[in-house]
Amino acid sequence: MRIPKLLAILAAAAMSLSLFAGCSRDNPSSKDDTGSSVNTSTTSDGDREKTRVKVAVIKGPSGAGIANLMETSAKGLALNDYEFTVVSSPEEIVNKISSGQVDIATPPTNIAATLYNNTNGNVKMLAVSTSSVLYIMENGDTIKSVADLKGKTVYSTGQGANPEYVLNYILTQNGIDPKKDVNIEFKSENDELATLLAAGTAKVALVPEPFVTTVKAKNPDIRVALDISKEWDTASQGKSQLLMGCVIGRREFIEKNQDAVLNFLNEYKESVEKATSDIETTASLCEKYEIIPKAAVAKQALPRCGLTFITGKDMMEKIKGYFDVLFKANPKSVGGALPDEGFYFNPAN
């Protein structure tokens, strides 16, 4: 496996969920003779041994769902002995899981597919954790449907990456030619996009959370005109979902520690459920664990972060359509090939 080349490919593909810059919090990991991390320590919980599980969490929406589990672990109440590392970019996720520094990670779904294809199947998708975090925002009141985007200038980040492919698919499915009927102005950074929209320079923009919340804080008159997740559902006629964040595990770790993986999935599901039912507590934890910088921002952003939990056959069936759209737009966005069934972890098997 050639990690530098893989990182270069993933840098463009991951833009839509790489939302914050900052420093990662690393902890030393044990390694075997090949450089892969191994389960060398367990902790006692009464009569039961806890398995050490090293987890890399990416900042932003895809990390928000795990905040409650991080707190449970910090209190010593989790079923596994978790070691969490919070990172700032998908590229860091790729490096850590490819080198065996972590066992489980939370990358964008297309990054997971790329890793699977470029590591000879050494990772598996355990669960989908995040649907779309993308929204069409308008400084005005003219956009009521996708059809209203025709003739408009739409600002966006993510040229040559997921945001562009998703927007093009939705426009095309609604009879709008992205090259002729809409003027799409790409910017390199979401911070710049938010500033242009808040200032009124940009009237319409495709914006991810938590920048939606940032924009509305700067200019409350700017509204969320379209939920891209819902527009995807309509465009695909319910045959697929726009599922952009997931949890993956190293195949070797999964095969050797299946009970620990199942424990993780159960605890992660509970964490996501609490994130959607107890927003105030979760927002505070997002700030505490540096997933989202401020609790006030997290509190407003969480309802639009698309937190979900889908596993097994249901996960595979719902995400295949999304991967198919990305592959048709640019095969490199999913690692050059659609992932086969071996990519999906199914605890029922």
**CATH 3.40.50.300 describes domain 134-235:** no
pLDDT single digits (tens) 263-274: 999 999 999 999
The pLDDT tens digits of the residues spanning 273-306 come to 999 999 999 999 999 999 999 999 999 999 999 9
What is the total residue count of the chain? 349
In the chain, % of residues over pLDDT 90: 73
Burial group, residue 174, by CB count within 10 angstroms (0-12, 13-18, 19+): middle
> How far is the C-alpha of 297 from the C-alpha of 302, rounded, in Å?
9
Contact 146, 174 (CB under 8 A): yes
Question: What is the mean pLDDT of the segment spanning 38-42?
Answer: 45
Looking at residue 23, its pLDDT comes to: 31
Q: Fold match between 3-131+243-343 and 134-235?
A: yes
Closest CA to 14 of 106, 120, 137: 106
Contact by Cβ (8 Å): 183, 207 = no
Average pLDDT, the chain: 87
Q: What is the pTM of this model?
A: 0.84
- Angle between helix axes 109-118 and 90-98 (nearest 10 degrees) is 30
* pLDDT score, position 240: 87
Residue 13 has pLDDT above 50, yes or no: no
The per-residue pLDDT for 16 is: 41
pLDDT at 204 over 80: yes
Three-state helix/strand/coil letters over the chain: CCHHHHHHHHHHHCHHHCCCCCCCCCCCCCECCCCCECCCCEEEECCEEEEEEEEEEECCHHHHCCHHHHHHHHCCCCCCEEEEEEECCHHHHHHHHHCCCCCEECCEHHHHHHHHHHCCCCEEEEEEEECCCEEEEECCCCCCCHHHHCCCEEEECCCCCHHHHHHHHHHHHCCCCCCCCCEEEECCCHHHHHHHHHHCCCCEEEEECCHHHHHHHHCCCCEEEEEHHHHHHHHCCCCCCCCCEEEEEEHHHHHHCHHHHHHHHHHHHHHHHHHHHCHHHHHHHHHHCCCCCCHHHHHHHHHHCCEEEECHHHHHHHHHHHHHHHHHHCHHHHCCCCCCHHHECCCCC
For the chain, the structural domain boundaries read 3-131+243-343, 134-235
pLDDT for position 47: 54
Q: Which CATH architecture has domain 3-131+243-343?
A: 3-Layer(aba) Sandwich (3.40)
* pLDDT score recorded for residue 171: 97
Other beta carbons within 10 Å of 54: 24
**For position 45, what pLDDT does the model report?**
52
Sign of CA dihedral 13, 292, 130, 248: positive
* Confidence at residue 271, expressed as pLDDT on a 0 to 100 scale: 98
Q: What is the mean pLDDT of residues 192-203?
A: 90
Q: How far apart are the first and last CA of the chain?
A: 29
pLDDT for position 261: 97
Which residue would you say has higher pLDDT here, 16 or 46? 46
Give the chain's radius of gyration (CA, Å). 20
